[in-house]
Structure 1
Amino acid sequence: MAVDRERVERLTRELLEAIGEDPDRPGLKQTPARVAELYEEFFSGVGQDAAAPLARTISVSRGPAPETLPSGAVLLRDIRFRSVCEHHLLPFAGHAHIAYLPGEQVVGLGALVRVVETIAARPQVQERLGEQIADTIAEHLDTRGVLVVLDAVHGCVTMRGGRQTDASTLTIAARGEYTDAAARAEIVVLIGAGA
């Protein structure tokens, strides 16, 4: 489902009027169109299949040592993401770190980035965002374990209320072997080593 740009423009104009502004003044005249374009980008993941990028896998059992499966994790750190908090429609942004223990199939690393981008491009809360990323990877990729760590700064914390400009939120979602704290400890250390 695509964003209804005309409707967003009308509603933005109405919002400007509701806060006592003149939407026809020079500085605001293009604002409704700009907000519609912004929302189309920010919410492009609504209705999209986040698992689609995981459909193209590569078999690791057909290489020079077909009886050998990868013994360690695949870790992709520092995936930049941004989303919009569903509570106040303010942005939050940060880094996603994804680790998975491959089974017989692996996927291109760009596919993991696209999973994050698709799910983040919806009205969200960080806790659910991490869980949805972990579920998508665990359900659509041959894995023995998945770990998703998100570290983000929220506009609703930095720009309103207590205005804690240095505060960030860290969430962890684990599936499979990584539900065991000892099993994920090495990955958490490796994520921190990159900071």
Structure 2
Amino acid sequence: MDAILDPFKKTGSAPDIKTARPSREEAEAAVRTLIAWTGDDPAREGLLDTPKRVVKAYEEFYRGYDENAQEALARTFEDVGGYDDIVVVRNIPFYSHCEHHMVPFTGKAHIAYYPIEGVVGLSKLARVTDVFARRMQTQEHLTAQIADAIDEALQPRGVAVFLEAEHMCMSLRGVQKHGVSTITTQFKGVFRDDPNEQIRFLALVRGESA
């Protein structure tokens, strides 16, 4: 395999592919190697089709590499009756995979922005979250990518992103601490410049009046 990806490209598109991906057959062979490495027999009946299933599952887990966040945010709506106050979408479920151990982390995203000339469909904010979550990630990088993509596409007065997640690399291995959550935030524009806007956003995330 002579292919590597650049996961830190700061655009809404998938990371640069510097050389070609391995073939499906090569990916399935790699799974068989891992099965044998664990001490099991990849030729036994219950594992015969496992390499195909794993590769198919990986296509879903990591489909974000083939998707573009800017395309998801391309269509906006300007006929909003002059609305220019905060837009908040809470409790967007997501799952991703830790780039250090390739095990899942799951949680919820809360996203807000202040529109200038128009708004984007609410489902598109969930879509953008998935585009970046369906890649190998760190939570910190995922948070920044979501905020950067929204800021680049909509050019709003401000963007706020709040992610809370549980990491299986911490609960299933290593220190094995279950129920521990990690919180990351990213603020741009008025949210970065005005602490009161951050307080308002966090209050809305918690379901309090702002």
Regarding TM over 0.5, the answer is yes
Find the partner of 1:107 among 120, 129, 132.
Answer: 120
Matching of residue 138 in structure 1 with residue 138 in structure 2 = no
The letter for the 2-side match of 1:144 is R
**Any conservation in 2 of the 1:145–1:177 contact (CA below 8 Å)?**
yes
Residue identity opposite 1:129 in structure 2: L
TM-fit CA distance, 1:187: 1.0
Instruction: Provide TM-score, normalisation by structure 2.
Output: 0.84
Q: Number of matched residues?
A: 188
Are 1:6 and 1:36, in contact at CA under 8 Å, matched by a contact in 2?
A: no
Please, what TM-score do these two structures have when normalized by structure 1? 0.91
Which of 145, 149, 152 is the aligned partner of 2:162? 149
Q: SS state of the match for residue 167, structure 1?
A: coil
Q: What does residue 185 of structure 1 align with?
A: 199
Q: 2:176 aligns with which of 144, 158, 163?
A: 163
Q: Which secondary structure state, in structure 2, belongs to the residue aligned with residue 51 of structure 1?
A: helix
Unpaired stretches in structure 2, ≥5 consecutive residues: 1-16
Q: Is the Cα contact below 8 Å between 1:45 and 1:119 reproduced in 2?
A: yes
1:52 equivalenced with 2:71 (yes/no): yes
Q: Contact 1:84 / 1:90 at 8 angstroms: preserved in 2? A: yes
Deviation at 1:69, TM superposition (A): 4.4
Distance 1:112 1:162 in 2: 34
CA distance in 2, matches of 1:80, 1:6: 33
Provide the C-alpha distance between the structure 2 equivalents of 1:101 and 1:81, rounded to a whole number of angstroms: 23
Of 93-102 and 15-24, deviating more is: 15-24
Counterpart residue number, 2:139: 126
2:33 paired with 1:14 = yes
Residue among 78, 91, 99 paired with 2:91: 78
Distance in 2, Cα, partners of 1:10 & 1:47:
23
Secondary structure in structure 1 of the residue aligned to 2:69: coil
Question: Which of the residues 45, 60, 80 maps onto 1:26?
Answer: 45
What is the aligned-residue identity percentage? Answer: 43
Task: Please tell me the root mean square deviation across aligned C-alpha atoms, in Å.
Answer: 1.7
Question: Which of 46, 56, 75 in structure 2 is aligned with 1:37?
Answer: 56
Q: Match of 2:196, SS?
A: helix
1:121 is displaced (CA, Å) by 0.8
Moved more, 22-31 or 93-102: 22-31
* Alpha-carbon displacement from aligned partner over 1:100-135 (angstroms, at most 9, x marks no partner): 011111010011111111111111000000000000
Amino acid paired to 1:188: L
Residues 5 and 37, structure 1, Cα contact 8 Å, conserved in 2: no
Counterparts in 2 of 1:3 and 1:104: CA distance versus 1, 3 Å: farther
Distance 2:30 2:168 in 1: 22
Q: Deviations over 1:133-190 (max 9, x none)?
A: 0000001013100000001111101100111111011100111111132211111011
Gaps in structure 1 of 5+ consecutive residues? none
Quick one: distance in 2 between partners of 1:89 and 1:40?
A: 14
